[in-house]
Structure 1
Amino acid sequence: MLEGYAGFVLPLLEPGTRVLDVGSFSGGRVASTLSLGTAAHPIRVLGLAAHAADVTEARRQAERASVSTVEFVVSRPESLPLCSGVADVVFSHGLLETAVAPMAVLAEFFRVLRPGGTLALSTVDWSKARLRPRTANVDAALRGWNLLQRRLGVDPFAGRRVADWVQRAGFRDVRSRARHHADIGYLALAREVEAGLAAAIHRPDGGPDQQLASAARSAWMWVRDGSGDFSQCWVETLATR
């Protein structure tokens, strides 16, 4: 469940805590952000996302859920419209793996946190994803999928590196643990991988990308192999400003 993505942060929150949630509610997935806003009373949560559509949808869902402790604004993560030292906690789920310059994002997180404040990150590591059954077709499709993500600027293995990034950004007392969450279903993942690879097999010059085409064929077989189980690995990292 999406609430679980923020579960490791909730015990840190106390009445009066000032929380920033940066980029965790993209694609309309607002449950984890709303869970921050109901973890203590009183509490104020500011949610920031790069796209106006995500902010509009988050505001709609917050209103429907009657959560008035969370505000949403549009902002790039590497340029937050906030004064230095204003946050007690900065939380972000699923952001650093998509960031073009993750160190610039972490520098902003360091700036807006007060001294002694807490950084809480949840970062994907596809190398530890659990899929059963994990056939040769699944592995071949995922290799192509990870290659495609890297070409799109996404780091599918960012969870491996996040603790090092955080330490290099100046944070102290860095600790990480891997936790698996049930994500989209096994077949839903297979269909997403198949569709993404099929759409990407043609190079800009019009010729086929043989590596992606081969992976797309494996994904096609994966979809037709039947059902299974999938849980994604998220590396949960806590650190102190």
Structure 2
Amino acid sequence: MAAKTESAIYTHGHHASVVRSHSWRTAKNSIGFLLPHLKPDMKILDIGCGPGTITIDVASYVPQGHITGLERAGGILSQARALAEEKGVTNIDFVEGDANALSYGDDTFDVVFCHQVLQHVGDPVGMLAEMKRVTKPGGIVAAREADYGVFVWYPELPGLKDWQDMYDRVARRNGGEPNAGRVLHAWARKAGFSDVQCSCTMWCYASPGDVKWWSESWVERAVASSFATTAIEHGLATKEDLQKISQAWEEWGQDEDAWISIPSAEIVCTKS
């Protein structure tokens, strides 16, 4: 029987504007909920590591251990490896692979985690079960997922509501669940976990620098990333629709009172 492979399409893709956004992520600002559980000699697997900024940060928490960053889109891994080399991080490696069918044996890792990944896959319960399989008894499976349906911003521009609605349609057309945060704990229980600790944190962009960074990212992503390509190819939007959304993000970013909150649910599951 052929190994199970991913059925969904990654909504954001790896356009330069997306990679720049993801490269902002660190262990502290993205998986702070997991850090207290880490021990210096742990063996860790980071699912969907992207450009590797979180993975490389986590390596410093396990100086006598090792972390592997796994990414389905292998092209981005050259950037991750270069960053690790630049920072002199050696207890790390990056591999290409599909988390629906991991190439590791049962009970291999102390911790397996993913960040903003399960919302983009066709079978999140199955992926969590696979993460559980390769985790040692007593080990941890952790995840953090946003919930696009409860993003909140000011000023409340109509064009940004159009963006939110369109993002939902595009993500679902791609086979994902954009409101993953609210069901993350339920997915974990369906995957066979009985010990599921839940929490919720958010990113908040309100300083001029953060607002400019987020605004400029979506000004470009709205018209040039895989999000835009999918929207047009499947008749979910016209180029004019996407341009209006891009302009809305630009207008938002120029408002001195601009503010946005992005909540994410978190789970820490112990394998019995």
Out of 188, 193, 200, the residue aligned to residue 222 of structure 2 is 193
> SS of the counterpart of 1:60?
helix
| 1:199 CA displacement | 4.3
- 1:145–1:15 Cα change, 3 Å: closer
Match of 2:92 among 70, 76, 93: 70
Using structure 1 for the length normalisation, give the TM-score.
0.86
1:11 counterpart (28, 36, 49): 36
Query: What is the SS of the residue equivalent to 2:113?
Result: strand
Amino acid at match of 1:31: T
2:170/2:231 contact within 8 Å kept: no
The structure-2 alpha-carbon separation of the partners of 1:219 and 1:48, relative to structure 1 and needing over 3 Å to count, comes to: same
- 1:232 corresponds in structure 2 to 262
Structure 1 stretches of 4+ moved >3 Å: 194-204, 213-218
Q: 1:219 aligns with which of 245, 251, 256?
A: 245
Q: 1:167 aligns to what SS in structure 2?
A: helix
Task: Look up the match of 2:118.
Answer: 96
Counting only pairs closer than 5 Å after superposition, residues 42-191 of structure 1 correspond to structure 2 as 42-182=64-204, 185-191=214-220
Q: 1:189 deviation in Å? A: 2.2
- Change in Cα spacing, 1:39 to 1:135, as seen in structure 2 (3 Å) is same
Deviation at 1:84, TM superposition (A): 0.3
Q: Is there any run of 5+ residues in structure 2 with no aligned partner, and where?
A: 1-23, 206-212
Contact 2:68/2:95, CA 8 A, preserved across alignment: yes
Q: Measure the CA separation in 2 of the matches of 1:67 and 1:203.
A: 41
Aligned partners of 1:181 and 1:138: how far apart in 2? Answer: 18
Secondary structure of the 1:2 match is coil
Task: Indicate how the Cα distance of structure 1 residues 151 and 116 shifts in structure 2: closer, same or farther if over 3 A, else same.
Answer: same
Structure 1 residue 108, shift from structure 2 partner: 0.8
Aligned length: 233
Deviation at 1:95, TM superposition (A): 1.1
C-alpha distance in 2, partners of 1:92/1:224? 31
What is the one-letter code of the residue matched to 1:237? I
1:93 to partner: Cα distance: 0.6
Separation in structure 2 between the aligned mates of residue 220 and residue 111 of structure 1, nearest angstrom: 42
Give ranges in structure 1 of 5+ residues lacking alignment.
none
Give the root-mean-square deviation of aligned CA atoms.
2.3
Letter in 1 for 2:268: L
Contact 1:92 1:121 in 2 (8 A): yes
How far apart in 2 are the matches of 1:57 and 1:50? 14
Does the 8 Å contact 1:5/1:93 carry over to 2?
yes
